[in-house]
């Protein structure tokens, strides 16, 4: 028993140092050497060199001239990247039904020229609350509004969307998608930044 | 459902099938050969660790010594993690200056990681320092996985060893199995795969959180940390405890469909391969493939309905002007869609992994029934690393016993007679599991401190509670996460459930090993029931499903099943 206890204590210390300290430091060292941009969060800068987000983390957009992401359950205001979360509302949840109905109404009001039914992602929250993507359908649906707000022909917006769309990985895996931040950045580069608008219930610009 | 979705599911299964044999042979060489693989490279590391730990690799243990070693090691490591959590404010690598983890949550988390459950009552990015994540939690991802694999190998030894009457009745050496597993199996895969994951966007740094102003001018803070190193072992060791609250749905843990695919393969790899290792040990590869076939059949029985029901869309949005062609997208990420979310949910609950890339709480009633039922079949569909194999072997004994009853012969398995003692231990193993789940669930639904944590009303609330205790006893760690489990009642009761679900099941498994290892082997005769063919695989699946259904059907009928019919009728709560 005493011998077993001693071995257990020593094995605890050795495995802790090997797998809990040495291992993550080795991986960090190699990762920083080989893929520093990825290892540090795939940060994106604007033309002035200011960090404006991570390519992988969704952020809120309220301005009609930008494509808008999915609703988010991360944090109180959505897209809080220190508080990732889904809504966890179940399939018979009244709260979920009310929220979807409200979002639907707002979307229909803001997008009078939009074609057909509202794509489902625009009224559902993602699992992380930080989903950076939309499906191509959900982007196409918003083109009339963006084109109108920017006073630019919809075809020219479509061309930008097409340029930044991603297919399935290796042609098979996952779903086709468009990164909303990358798309909005591309729009700004091509057509200039839109004039800021008044914030809507805290989700929009604060400065 | 789409053709592409099924192509992805089949492609995943084919990769697992391809990995099973080579990894299985490799693990056989690691655990059962005198000469381990790549001795020039790994040999010195292995011997150095033995010296540091005071382990004599030639020493063999009886089942009681082996069990004592597992329990002692688990108890000490649990206390160490508890201490790290409680002292994290004074330890290095805490750039966000997080406070000590409160005692009930620290106990729950330490129990969770010691038992390979990785239930997260905490939110990683706002609670745990980098040191706690690495040295408190990811450390357990390695050693609890290695301990589970060690126990499986020990039980396999008990079943397959042919000892002479005067041989010592030993089943290996826990310390040697633990260290070999870490050095030869886990670390060599984790380091390169972690780097592949970083190349795809998973972060790996010790920086403070990044404050930035978004394109539209809002403030955003990005949580950082050494994520990739933890991500890979979290899947490979079927642990499942994410660095972030949203787990593998978080883009920094799982940025694209390729990483998603790699992570799913990691979850199944060891458990699938262990069936091959087992076939080698049994000197009859078909014994291993029969287990694999039974597991594979149950995998497809789960993934098909999960995918189907999630494709049908969310019931509360039927009738709204919403295009639900993409399926039920509440709690799912666009890059994964319904196919990869349903596949992952099946994979993570077939095994005791419990990492999630979508939120199971928001699944359709019957889509969400699949993960719940997978767990309640006691995690033997490939199962946790090690725990899947030893759990399935217990069911094998039951199946052999039932087959023996049907033909009126003393049951035998691999030439060893299965007698009253083994069946009693197997029944103990099978009964502890539903006992804790149903007992604590029943308690929680009648106690005010139990129901006050619910996020959903109606039958879905029962499902949330039932899911919480099922995953705890099954050491899974996924959740119907709407339940606010970070309360003293849930932290303590779920913590205890996890400990019971791990250790009260390891002890009977090792006792069976001890009881069988010395039994003399009788040659197979015409009357022997063959356990290496399709008939046995089907019998095994039937036993697993019947035991699970008899135990849990009444509770499931009041939860997801009744919810399905109410949802069809348009009822909300």
pLDDT tens, position by position, A119-143: 999 999 999 999 999 999 999 999 9
Region A44-56: mean pLDDT is: 93
In a domain, B148, yes or no: yes
Q: With bands split at pLDDT 50, 70 and 90, how would you rate the model's confidence at B398?
A: very high
Contact (CB<8Å) B178/A42: no
DSSP state of B209: P
Residue B26 CB-half CA count within 13 A: 18
Tally of domains in chain B: 1
User: Where does B140-260 show beta strands of DSSP type E?
Assistant: 210-213, 219-222
Examine the pLDDT at B190 and tell me if it is beyond 50. yes
Region B337-342: mean pLDDT is: 98
Helix (H) or strand (E) holding A199: none
Give A91 to chain B, closest Cα distance, Å: 5
Please report the residues numbered 524 through 553 in chain B whose beta carbons come closer than 8 angstroms to any beta carbon of chain A.
Answer: none
Give A88 to chain B, closest Cα distance, Å: 5
B243/A contact by beta carbon, under 8 A: no
Buried b (16+ CB within 10 A) or exposed e, B176-190: bbbbbbbbbbbbbbb
Give A3 to chain B, closest Cα distance, Å: 9
In a domain, B187, yes or no: yes
In a domain, B468, yes or no: no
The pLDDT assigned to B316 comes to 94
What is the per-residue pLDDT across B420-451, written as a single tens digit (0 to 9) for each? 999 999 999 999 999 999 999 999 999 999 99
CA-to-CA distance for A25 and B115, rounded, in angstroms? Answer: 25
Give A52 to chain B, closest Cα distance, Å: 5
Examine the pLDDT at B168 and tell me if it is beyond 80. yes
A23, A30, A90: which to substitute to probe chain B, counting the most B Cβ within 10 Å?
A90
Region B203-212: mean pLDDT is: 97
The H-assigned helical ranges of B54-134 are 63-87, 103-114, 124-127, 130-131
A168/B contact by beta carbon, under 8 A: yes
Contacts of A3 (CB under 8 A, 6+ apart): none
Beta bridge partners of B204: B226
For tokens 């540090």, what's the residue? A40
In a domain, B413, yes or no: no
- In chain B, the percentage of residues whose pLDDT exceeds 70 is 100
Whether the CB-CB separation of B100 and B89 falls below 8 Å is answered with yes
In a domain, B392, yes or no: no
A68/B contact by beta carbon, under 8 A: no
Contact (CB<8Å) B321/A207: no
Contacts of B442 (CB under 8 A, 6+ apart): none
Contact (CB<8Å) A4/B257: no
Chain B neighbors of A26, CB-CB under 8 A: 191
Please report the residues numbered 85 through 144 in chain A whose beta carbons come closer than 8 angstroms to any beta carbon of chain B.
Answer: 85-94, 96-97, 100-101, 104, 108, 116-121, 123-135, 137
Q: With bands split at pLDDT 50, 70 and 90, how would you rate the model's confidence at A198?
A: low
The boundaries of the domain holding residue B215 are: 20-282
How far, in Å, are B2, B234, B379, B447 from residue B9 at the CA level?
11, 22, 20, 42
Tokens for B167, please give them. Answer: 């041989």
CA-to-CA distance for B249 and B263, rounded, in angstroms? Answer: 12
The pLDDT assigned to A205 comes to 39
B563/A contact by beta carbon, under 8 A: yes
CA-to-CA distance for A133 and A55, rounded, in angstroms? Answer: 10
In a domain, B124, yes or no: yes
In a domain, B350, yes or no: no
Whether the CB-CB separation of A123 and A71 falls below 8 Å is answered with yes
**Residue B421: which of B516, B330, B335 has the closest Cα?**
B516
Whether the CB-CB separation of A103 and B269 falls below 8 Å is answered with no
How high is the mean pLDDT of chain A?
93
In a domain, B138, yes or no: yes
What is the per-residue pLDDT across A69-84, written as a single tens digit (0 to 9) for each? 999 999 999 999 999 9
What is the pTM (predicted TM-score) of this model? 0.96
What is the per-residue pLDDT across B227-236, written as a single tens digit (0 to 9) for each? 999 999 999 9
The pLDDT assigned to B406 comes to 87
Q: Is B211 helix (H, G, I), strand (E, B) or coil?
A: strand
């Amino acid at each position: 028993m005493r011998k077993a206890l001693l071995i257990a204590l020593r094995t605890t210390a050795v495995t802790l140092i090997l797998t809990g300290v040495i291992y993550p430091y080795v991986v960090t060292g190699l990762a920083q050497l080989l893929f520093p941009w990825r290892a540090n969060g795939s940060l994106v800068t604007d033309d002035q060199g200011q960090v404006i987000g991570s390519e992988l983390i969704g952020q809120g957009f309220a301005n009609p001239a930008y494509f808008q992401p999915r609703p988010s359950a991360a944090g109180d205001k959505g897209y809080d990247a220190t508080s990732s979360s889904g809504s966890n509302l179940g399939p018979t949840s009244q709260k979920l039904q009310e929220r979807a109905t409200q979002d639907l109404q707002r979307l229909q009001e803001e997008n009078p020229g939009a074609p057909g039914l509202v794509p489902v992602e625009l009224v559902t929250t993602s699992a992380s609350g930080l989903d950076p993507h939309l499906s191509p359908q959900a982007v196409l649906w918003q083109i009339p509004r963006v084109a109108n707000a920017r006073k630019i022909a919809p075809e020219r917006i479509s061309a930008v969307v097409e340029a930044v769309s991603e297919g399935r990985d290796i042609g098979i895996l996952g779903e086709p998608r468009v990164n909303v931040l990358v798309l909005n950045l591309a729009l700004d580069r091509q057509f200039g930044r839109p004039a800021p608008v008044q914030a809507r219930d805290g989700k929009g610009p604060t400065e | 459902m789409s053709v592409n979705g099924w192509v992805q599911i089949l492609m995943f299964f084919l990769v697992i099938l391809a990995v099973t044999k080579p990894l299985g042979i490799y693990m056989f060489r690691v655990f059962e050969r005198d000469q381990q693989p790549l001795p020039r490279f790994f040999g010195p590391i292995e011997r150095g660790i033995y010296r540091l730990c005071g382990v004599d690799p030639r020493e063999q243990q009886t089942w009681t010594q082996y069990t004592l070693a597992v329990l002692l090691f688990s108890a000490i490591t649990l206390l160490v993690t508890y201490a790290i959590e409680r002292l994290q404010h004074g330890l290095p690598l805490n750039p966000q200056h997080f406070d000590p983890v409160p005692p009930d949550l620290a106990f729950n988390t330490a129990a969770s990681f010691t038992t390979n459950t990785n239930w997260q009552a905490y939110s990683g990015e706002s609670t745990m320092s980098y040191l706690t994540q690495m040295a408190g939690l990811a450390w357990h991802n390695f050693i609890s996985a290695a301990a589970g694999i060690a126990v499986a190998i020990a039980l396999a030894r008990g079943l397959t060893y042919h000892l002479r009457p005067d041989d010592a009745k030993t089943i290996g050496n826990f310390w040697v199995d633990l260290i070999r597993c870490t050095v030869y199996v886990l670390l060599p895969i984790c380091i390169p795969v972690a780097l592949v994951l970083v190349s795809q966007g998973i972060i790996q740094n010790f920086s403070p959180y990044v404050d930035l102003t978004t394109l539209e001018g809002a403030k955003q803070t990005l949580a950082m940390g050494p994520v990739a190193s933890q991500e890979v072992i979290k899947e490979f060791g079927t642990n499942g405890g994410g660095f972030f609250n949203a787990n593998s749905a978080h883009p920094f843990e799982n940025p694209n469909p390729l990483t998603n695919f790699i992570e799913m393969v990691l979850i199944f790899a060891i458990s699938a391969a262990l069936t091959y290792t087992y076939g080698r040990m049994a000197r009859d590869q078909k014994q291993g493939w029969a287990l694999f076939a039974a597991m594979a059949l149950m995998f497809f029985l789960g993934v098909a309905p999960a995918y189907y029901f999630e494709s049908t869309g969310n019931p509360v949005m039927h009738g709204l002007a919403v295009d639900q062609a993409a399926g039920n997208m509440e709690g799912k990420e666009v890059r994964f869609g319904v196919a990869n979310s349903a596949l992952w949910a099946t994979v993570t609950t077939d095994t005791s992994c419990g990492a999630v890339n979508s939120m199971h709480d928001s699944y359709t009633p019957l889509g969400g029934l699949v993960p719940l039922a997978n767990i309640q079949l006691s995690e033997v569909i490939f199962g946790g690393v090690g725990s899947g194999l030893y759990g399935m072997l217990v069911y094998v004994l039951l199946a052999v016993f039932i087959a023996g009853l049907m033909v009126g012969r003393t049951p035998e398995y691999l030439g060893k007679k299965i007698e009253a003692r083994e069946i009693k231990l197997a029944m103990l193993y099978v009964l502890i599991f539903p006992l804790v789940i149903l007992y604590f669930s029943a308690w929680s639904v009648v106690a005010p401190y139990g129901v006050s944590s619910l996020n959903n009303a109606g039958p879905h609330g029962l499902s949330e509670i039932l899911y919480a205790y099922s995953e705890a006893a099954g050491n899974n760690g996924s959740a119907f996460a709407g339940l606010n489990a970070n309360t003293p009642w849930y932290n303590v009761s779920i913590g205890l459930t996890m400990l019971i679900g791990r250790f009260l099941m390891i002890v009977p498994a090792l006792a069976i090993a001890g009881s069988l290892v010395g039994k003399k082997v009788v040659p197979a005769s015409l009357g022997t029931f063959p356990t290496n063919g399709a008939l046995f695989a089907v019998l095994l699946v039937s036993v697993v499903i019947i035991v699970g259904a008899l135990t849990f059907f009444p509770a499931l009928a009041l939860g997801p099943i009744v919810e399905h019919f109410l949802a069809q009728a348009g009822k909300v709560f």
